[in-house]
Amino acid sequence: MNEKFFKLPQERQNQIINSALKVFSKASYYQTSTLEIAREAGMSKGLLFYYFKNKKELYLFLYEYCVKLSLKEIDENRSVEERDFFEIIMKSQRLKCKLMKKYRYIYEFIVKVYKESDEEVIEDIARFSEPLINNNYNNFFEKIDRKKFREGVDIPLLFQSLQWCADGFMRNALNSNKTIDEIDLEFSKILEMYKQNFYKEEFACTTMNTEIGKTTQ
For 82-133, what is each residue's pLDDT tens digit?
899 999 999 888 888 889 989 999 989 998 998 899 999 999 999 988 888 7
51 vs 88: CA distance, rounded Å: 37
Instruction: Report how far apart the first and last C-alpha atoms of the chain are (Å, whole number).
Output: 48
Nearest CA among 177, 172, 205 for reference residue 187 = 172
For 177-200, what is each residue's pLDDT tens digit?
788 889 889 999 999 999 999 999
Backbone angles phi, psi at 134, to 5 degrees: -65, -40
Give the CATH class of 3-216.
mainly alpha
Beta partners for 199? 149
Task: Give the domain ranges of the chain.
Answer: 3-216
